[in-house]
Amino acid sequence: MNRPTIADLAKAANVSVSTVNRILAGSASVRTATIQRVQNAADEIGYYGLGTIEARKQESMPSYRLGFLLQQSTRELYQLIGQKIREAAAGWRDARIDAAVEFVDHLEPENIAARLKTLGRACDAAAVVAGDHPLIGQAIQALRHQGRPVVAYITDQSASERAGYVGADNWKLGRTAAWFIAQTTCHPGRVQVLIGNHRYQCQDISEASFRSYMREHAGHLGIEDSLPTHEEPKEAHRLISKLLAERDDLAGVYVAGGGISGVLQAVREAPEERRRRLRVVCRDIGPETRRGLAEGLITAALCHPLERTSDQLIQTMIDAIRQTNDGVILQRTLPFEIITPENL
Protein backbone atom coordinates (compact mmCIF):
# COMPACT_ATOMS: atom_id res chain seq x y z
CA MET A 1 0.00 0.00 0.00
CA ASN A 2 1.42 3.40 -1.06
CA ARG A 3 2.12 5.94 1.64
CA PRO A 4 -0.34 8.92 1.51
CA THR A 5 1.07 11.97 -0.25
CA ILE A 6 0.68 15.69 0.38
CA ALA A 7 -1.88 15.77 -2.41
CA ASP A 8 -3.85 12.98 -0.73
CA LEU A 9 -3.78 14.90 2.56
CA ALA A 10 -4.90 18.14 0.89
CA LYS A 11 -7.83 16.35 -0.73
CA ALA A 12 -8.86 14.62 2.52
CA ALA A 13 -8.75 17.93 4.41
CA ASN A 14 -10.42 19.90 1.58
CA VAL A 15 -7.58 22.43 1.44
CA SER A 16 -5.02 23.32 -1.24
CA VAL A 17 -1.68 21.59 -1.60
CA SER A 18 -0.01 24.94 -0.97
CA THR A 19 -1.81 25.21 2.39
CA VAL A 20 -0.48 21.81 3.45
CA ASN A 21 3.01 22.82 2.31
CA ARG A 22 2.83 26.03 4.34
CA ILE A 23 1.78 24.05 7.42
CA LEU A 24 4.59 21.52 7.06
CA ALA A 25 7.20 24.18 6.34
CA GLY A 26 6.02 26.52 9.09
CA SER A 27 6.96 29.40 6.84
CA ALA A 28 3.60 31.21 6.71
CA SER A 29 0.64 31.89 8.97
CA VAL A 30 -2.21 29.37 8.79
CA ARG A 31 -5.24 29.50 11.06
CA THR A 32 -5.23 27.04 13.95
CA ALA A 33 -8.66 25.71 12.89
CA THR A 34 -7.29 24.88 9.43
CA ILE A 35 -4.25 23.14 10.90
CA GLN A 36 -6.59 21.13 13.14
CA ARG A 37 -8.63 20.06 10.11
CA VAL A 38 -5.48 18.97 8.29
CA GLN A 39 -4.30 17.13 11.42
CA ASN A 40 -7.61 15.26 11.67
CA ALA A 41 -7.39 14.29 7.99
CA ALA A 42 -3.78 13.15 8.44
CA ASP A 43 -4.83 10.92 11.30
CA GLU A 44 -7.66 9.43 9.23
CA ILE A 45 -5.56 8.57 6.17
CA GLY A 46 -2.41 7.59 8.06
CA TYR A 47 -0.21 10.44 6.86
CA TYR A 48 3.30 10.12 8.31
CA GLY A 49 3.81 13.79 9.27
CA LEU A 50 1.41 13.96 12.24
CA GLY A 51 4.12 15.07 14.65
CA THR A 52 5.10 17.98 12.42
CA ILE A 53 1.49 19.08 11.98
CA GLU A 54 0.90 18.95 15.75
CA ALA A 55 4.01 21.10 16.30
CA ARG A 56 2.77 23.65 13.76
CA LYS A 57 -0.63 23.73 15.44
CA GLN A 58 0.95 24.43 18.80
CA GLU A 59 3.04 27.24 17.28
CA SER A 60 -0.06 28.81 15.69
CA MET A 61 -2.08 28.89 18.89
CA PRO A 62 -2.47 32.06 20.93
CA SER A 63 -0.93 31.89 24.39
CA TYR A 64 -2.52 33.20 27.60
CA ARG A 65 -1.38 33.38 31.20
CA LEU A 66 -4.46 33.15 33.40
CA GLY A 67 -4.47 33.72 37.16
CA PHE A 68 -6.84 31.99 39.58
CA LEU A 69 -7.12 33.26 43.15
CA LEU A 70 -8.85 30.64 45.29
CA GLN A 71 -9.37 30.45 49.03
CA GLN A 72 -7.92 28.45 51.91
CA SER A 73 -5.26 26.03 50.77
CA THR A 74 -6.11 23.81 53.76
CA ARG A 75 -9.59 23.04 52.42
CA GLU A 76 -9.78 19.93 50.26
CA LEU A 77 -12.55 21.46 48.14
CA TYR A 78 -10.38 24.35 46.97
CA GLN A 79 -7.46 22.03 46.31
CA LEU A 80 -9.81 19.97 44.13
CA ILE A 81 -11.02 23.11 42.31
CA GLY A 82 -7.40 24.10 41.67
CA GLN A 83 -6.62 20.64 40.33
CA LYS A 84 -9.59 20.73 37.93
CA ILE A 85 -8.57 24.18 36.66
CA ARG A 86 -5.03 22.96 35.94
CA GLU A 87 -6.40 19.90 34.12
CA ALA A 88 -8.73 22.04 32.01
CA ALA A 89 -5.86 24.40 31.12
CA ALA A 90 -3.54 21.53 30.19
CA GLY A 91 -6.16 20.01 27.89
CA TRP A 92 -7.24 23.25 26.19
CA ARG A 93 -7.32 22.73 22.43
CA ASP A 94 -7.56 26.26 21.00
CA ALA A 95 -4.83 28.05 22.95
CA ARG A 96 -1.82 27.45 25.14
CA ILE A 97 -2.89 28.19 28.71
CA ASP A 98 -0.44 28.88 31.52
CA ALA A 99 -2.59 28.53 34.65
CA ALA A 100 -1.29 30.31 37.77
CA VAL A 101 -3.37 28.92 40.66
CA GLU A 102 -2.89 30.61 44.04
CA PHE A 103 -4.63 30.29 47.41
CA VAL A 104 -5.49 32.92 50.02
CA ASP A 105 -5.45 31.62 53.58
CA HIS A 106 -6.08 34.97 55.29
CA LEU A 107 -9.48 36.15 54.12
CA GLU A 108 -9.30 39.79 55.17
CA PRO A 109 -10.47 41.98 52.24
CA GLU A 110 -7.22 43.99 52.35
CA ASN A 111 -5.17 40.83 51.86
CA ILE A 112 -7.36 39.44 49.07
CA ALA A 113 -7.34 42.79 47.24
CA ALA A 114 -3.54 43.02 47.43
CA ARG A 115 -3.07 39.44 46.27
CA LEU A 116 -5.53 39.95 43.41
CA LYS A 117 -3.69 43.05 42.19
CA THR A 118 -0.34 41.26 42.25
CA LEU A 119 -1.66 38.20 40.46
CA GLY A 120 -3.67 40.20 37.94
CA ARG A 121 -0.73 42.36 36.91
CA ALA A 122 1.27 39.22 36.07
CA CYS A 123 -1.51 37.66 33.97
CA ASP A 124 -3.65 38.41 30.94
CA ALA A 125 -6.80 37.87 33.04
CA ALA A 126 -7.66 36.77 36.57
CA ALA A 127 -10.47 34.88 38.29
CA VAL A 128 -11.27 35.32 41.97
CA VAL A 129 -13.36 33.64 44.67
CA ALA A 130 -14.02 36.24 47.35
CA GLY A 131 -16.63 38.04 49.38
CA ASP A 132 -18.10 41.19 47.87
CA HIS A 133 -16.20 44.11 49.43
CA PRO A 134 -15.35 47.67 48.26
CA LEU A 135 -11.60 47.02 48.56
CA ILE A 136 -11.85 43.99 46.28
CA GLY A 137 -14.03 46.03 43.92
CA GLN A 138 -11.31 48.69 43.78
CA ALA A 139 -8.73 46.04 42.93
CA ILE A 140 -10.96 44.77 40.10
CA GLN A 141 -11.36 48.34 38.83
CA ALA A 142 -7.63 49.00 38.92
CA LEU A 143 -6.88 45.83 36.97
CA ARG A 144 -9.57 46.63 34.40
CA HIS A 145 -7.95 50.01 33.77
CA GLN A 146 -4.65 48.19 33.20
CA GLY A 147 -6.28 45.96 30.59
CA ARG A 148 -6.49 42.95 32.93
CA PRO A 149 -10.09 41.65 33.10
CA VAL A 150 -11.26 39.93 36.30
CA VAL A 151 -13.94 37.22 36.33
CA ALA A 152 -15.83 36.40 39.54
CA TYR A 153 -15.93 32.65 40.14
CA ILE A 154 -18.57 30.75 42.19
CA THR A 155 -19.67 33.93 43.98
CA ASP A 156 -20.34 37.18 42.09
CA GLN A 157 -19.01 40.67 42.77
CA SER A 158 -20.93 43.95 42.65
CA ALA A 159 -18.02 45.82 41.02
CA SER A 160 -19.31 47.17 37.72
CA GLU A 161 -15.81 46.78 36.23
CA ARG A 162 -15.80 43.01 36.61
CA ALA A 163 -15.55 41.19 33.28
CA GLY A 164 -17.92 38.35 34.12
CA TYR A 165 -19.28 35.72 36.48
CA VAL A 166 -19.09 31.93 36.22
CA GLY A 167 -21.04 29.79 38.68
CA ALA A 168 -24.37 28.27 39.62
CA ASP A 169 -27.82 29.86 39.77
CA ASN A 170 -27.81 30.50 43.50
CA TRP A 171 -31.51 31.38 43.67
CA LYS A 172 -32.43 27.93 42.35
CA LEU A 173 -29.80 26.31 44.52
CA GLY A 174 -31.23 27.76 47.75
CA ARG A 175 -34.79 26.75 46.89
CA THR A 176 -33.61 23.24 46.03
CA ALA A 177 -31.86 22.95 49.39
CA ALA A 178 -35.09 24.01 51.10
CA TRP A 179 -37.08 21.48 49.05
CA PHE A 180 -34.89 18.62 50.25
CA ILE A 181 -35.21 19.57 53.92
CA ALA A 182 -38.95 20.32 53.73
CA GLN A 183 -39.86 17.20 51.77
CA THR A 184 -37.86 14.84 53.96
CA THR A 185 -39.01 16.29 57.30
CA CYS A 186 -42.55 15.37 58.33
CA HIS A 187 -42.49 16.52 61.95
CA PRO A 188 -42.46 20.16 63.13
CA GLY A 189 -39.09 21.60 64.02
CA ARG A 190 -36.51 24.31 63.52
CA VAL A 191 -33.98 24.73 60.73
CA GLN A 192 -30.58 26.37 61.04
CA VAL A 193 -28.73 28.07 58.16
CA LEU A 194 -24.95 28.36 58.38
CA ILE A 195 -23.18 30.89 56.19
CA GLY A 196 -19.46 31.43 55.84
CA ASN A 197 -19.50 35.20 55.57
CA HIS A 198 -22.21 37.82 55.09
CA ARG A 199 -20.35 39.23 52.07
CA TYR A 200 -20.49 36.12 49.85
CA GLN A 201 -23.18 36.89 47.29
CA CYS A 202 -23.69 33.21 46.44
CA GLN A 203 -24.52 32.44 50.08
CA ASP A 204 -26.66 35.54 50.58
CA ILE A 205 -28.79 34.82 47.50
CA SER A 206 -29.19 31.12 48.26
CA GLU A 207 -30.15 31.90 51.87
CA ALA A 208 -32.83 34.34 50.69
CA SER A 209 -34.31 31.82 48.27
CA PHE A 210 -34.09 29.09 50.92
CA ARG A 211 -36.24 31.20 53.23
CA SER A 212 -38.56 32.07 50.34
CA TYR A 213 -39.32 28.40 49.69
CA MET A 214 -39.78 27.64 53.38
CA ARG A 215 -42.28 30.48 53.77
CA GLU A 216 -44.28 29.16 50.82
CA HIS A 217 -44.21 25.43 51.39
CA ALA A 218 -42.95 24.46 54.85
CA GLY A 219 -45.20 25.97 57.50
CA HIS A 220 -44.28 23.15 59.88
CA LEU A 221 -40.65 24.31 59.98
CA GLY A 222 -39.29 27.49 61.54
CA ILE A 223 -36.00 29.03 60.45
CA GLU A 224 -33.52 30.45 62.92
CA ASP A 225 -31.39 33.52 62.23
CA SER A 226 -28.36 32.56 60.14
CA LEU A 227 -25.08 31.95 61.94
CA PRO A 228 -21.68 32.72 60.40
CA THR A 229 -18.92 30.09 60.51
CA HIS A 230 -16.26 32.39 59.00
CA GLU A 231 -15.46 29.38 56.79
CA GLU A 232 -13.95 27.62 59.83
CA PRO A 233 -14.86 23.97 60.57
CA LYS A 234 -14.13 24.44 64.28
CA GLU A 235 -16.70 27.23 64.51
CA ALA A 236 -19.26 25.16 62.58
CA HIS A 237 -18.65 22.28 64.98
CA ARG A 238 -19.13 24.55 68.00
CA LEU A 239 -22.37 26.03 66.66
CA ILE A 240 -24.03 22.73 65.72
CA SER A 241 -22.87 20.95 68.89
CA LYS A 242 -24.44 23.74 70.94
CA LEU A 243 -27.70 23.59 68.98
CA LEU A 244 -27.94 19.81 69.26
CA ALA A 245 -27.35 20.04 73.01
CA GLU A 246 -29.87 22.84 73.58
CA ARG A 247 -32.65 22.18 71.07
CA ASP A 248 -34.62 18.95 70.84
CA ASP A 249 -36.49 20.29 67.81
CA LEU A 250 -33.52 20.90 65.46
CA ALA A 251 -34.77 19.27 62.26
CA GLY A 252 -32.46 20.54 59.55
CA VAL A 253 -29.21 22.34 58.78
CA TYR A 254 -28.44 24.11 55.52
CA VAL A 255 -24.70 24.69 55.19
CA ALA A 256 -24.64 27.54 52.67
CA GLY A 257 -20.93 28.21 53.19
CA GLY A 258 -17.84 26.47 54.51
CA GLY A 259 -17.61 24.30 57.59
CA ILE A 260 -19.25 21.04 56.52
CA SER A 261 -16.50 18.95 58.15
CA GLY A 262 -17.24 20.62 61.50
CA VAL A 263 -20.98 20.07 61.06
CA LEU A 264 -20.41 16.38 60.33
CA GLN A 265 -18.18 15.98 63.38
CA ALA A 266 -20.91 17.46 65.59
CA VAL A 267 -23.56 15.19 64.06
CA ARG A 268 -21.38 12.10 64.54
CA GLU A 269 -21.02 12.99 68.22
CA ALA A 270 -24.80 13.25 68.70
CA PRO A 271 -26.96 10.32 69.85
CA GLU A 272 -28.18 8.04 67.05
CA GLU A 273 -31.80 9.16 67.49
CA ARG A 274 -30.81 12.79 66.92
CA ARG A 275 -28.74 11.87 63.85
CA ARG A 276 -31.66 9.96 62.36
CA ARG A 277 -34.04 12.91 62.67
CA LEU A 278 -31.65 15.57 61.35
CA ARG A 279 -31.50 16.60 57.67
CA VAL A 280 -28.28 18.20 56.43
CA VAL A 281 -27.93 19.84 52.99
CA CYS A 282 -24.66 21.43 51.87
CA ARG A 283 -23.00 23.06 48.87
CA ASP A 284 -20.25 21.49 46.80
CA ILE A 285 -18.43 18.25 47.33
CA GLY A 286 -15.03 17.08 48.48
CA PRO A 287 -13.71 14.01 50.28
CA GLU A 288 -15.32 15.00 53.60
CA THR A 289 -18.71 15.58 51.99
CA ARG A 290 -18.50 12.25 50.17
CA ARG A 291 -17.82 10.51 53.46
CA GLY A 292 -20.84 12.24 55.05
CA LEU A 293 -23.05 11.17 52.15
CA ALA A 294 -21.79 7.59 52.34
CA GLU A 295 -22.59 7.52 56.08
CA GLY A 296 -26.09 8.85 55.44
CA LEU A 297 -25.43 12.00 57.49
CA ILE A 298 -25.95 14.33 54.51
CA THR A 299 -29.30 14.36 52.75
CA ALA A 300 -28.01 16.09 49.62
CA ALA A 301 -25.01 18.01 48.30
CA LEU A 302 -25.65 20.66 45.64
CA CYS A 303 -22.45 20.97 43.66
CA HIS A 304 -20.69 22.85 40.91
CA PRO A 305 -19.79 20.40 38.10
CA LEU A 306 -16.08 21.08 38.47
CA GLU A 307 -14.91 19.88 35.05
CA ARG A 308 -17.54 21.84 33.14
CA THR A 309 -17.20 24.87 35.39
CA SER A 310 -13.41 24.94 34.97
CA ASP A 311 -13.77 24.77 31.18
CA GLN A 312 -16.36 27.54 31.21
CA LEU A 313 -14.24 29.70 33.48
CA ILE A 314 -11.23 29.50 31.15
CA GLN A 315 -13.40 30.19 28.09
CA THR A 316 -14.97 33.21 29.80
CA MET A 317 -11.56 34.61 30.72
CA ILE A 318 -10.35 34.22 27.13
CA ASP A 319 -13.56 35.85 25.85
CA ALA A 320 -13.01 38.74 28.28
CA ILE A 321 -9.46 39.23 26.97
CA ARG A 322 -10.65 39.24 23.37
CA GLN A 323 -13.79 41.33 23.70
CA THR A 324 -13.70 44.90 22.43
CA ASN A 325 -16.78 46.20 24.29
CA ASP A 326 -15.54 47.01 27.79
CA GLY A 327 -19.10 47.47 29.08
CA VAL A 328 -20.13 43.83 28.55
CA ILE A 329 -20.30 41.64 31.67
CA LEU A 330 -20.19 37.97 30.68
CA GLN A 331 -22.65 35.97 32.79
CA ARG A 332 -22.13 32.21 32.49
CA THR A 333 -24.48 30.19 34.69
CA LEU A 334 -24.17 26.41 34.84
CA PRO A 335 -26.64 23.88 36.26
CA PHE A 336 -25.56 22.47 39.60
CA GLU A 337 -25.33 18.75 40.32
CA ILE A 338 -27.43 17.07 43.00
CA ILE A 339 -25.71 14.25 44.86
CA THR A 340 -27.49 12.09 47.42
CA PRO A 341 -26.36 8.96 49.29
CA GLU A 342 -28.05 6.88 46.60
CA ASN A 343 -26.29 8.34 43.52
CA LEU A 344 -22.89 8.97 45.11
What are the pLDDT digits (tens) for 162-189? 999 999 999 999 999 999 999 999 899 9
End-to-end CA distance of the chain: give it in Å, rounded: 51
Three-class DSSP category at 130: coil
230 neighbors 196 (Cβ within 8 angstroms): yes
- 115 SS3 class: helix
Q: Are 299 and 340 in contact (CB under 8 A)?
A: yes
Output the CA torsion 292→298→303→306 (10° steps). 10
The CATH number of the structural domain formed by 170-303 is 3.40.50.2300
Q: 222: which strand partners?
A: 190
Domain 63-167+306-334 CATH class label: alpha beta
307: amino acid identity, one letter: E
Read out DSSP for 153-221? ESS----TT--EEEEE-HHHHHHHHHHHHHHT--S-EEEEEEES-TT-HHHHHHHHHHHHHHHHH-TTE
Nearest 5°: the CA angle 192, 197, 199 is 125
Angle (CA) 224 229 231, round 5°: 140
Quickly count: other Cβ atoms within 10 Å of residue 17's Cβ. Answer: 13
Residues 269 and 287: their CA atoms lie apart, in Å, by: 19
Among 44-53, 80-89, 170-179, 271-280, the least confident range: 44-53
CA 130 – CA 136 distance, rounded (Å): 8
Q: pTM (2 decimals)?
A: 0.85
| Residues with Cβ within 8 Å of residue 134, at least 6 apart in sequence | 109
CATH 3.40.50.2300 domain residues, the chain: 63-167+306-334, 170-303
Segment 76-134, tens digit of pLDDT: 889 999 999 999 999 998 889 999 999 999 999 999 999 999 999 999 999 999 999 99
Reported as a pLDDT band with limits 50, 70 and 90, residue 54 is confident
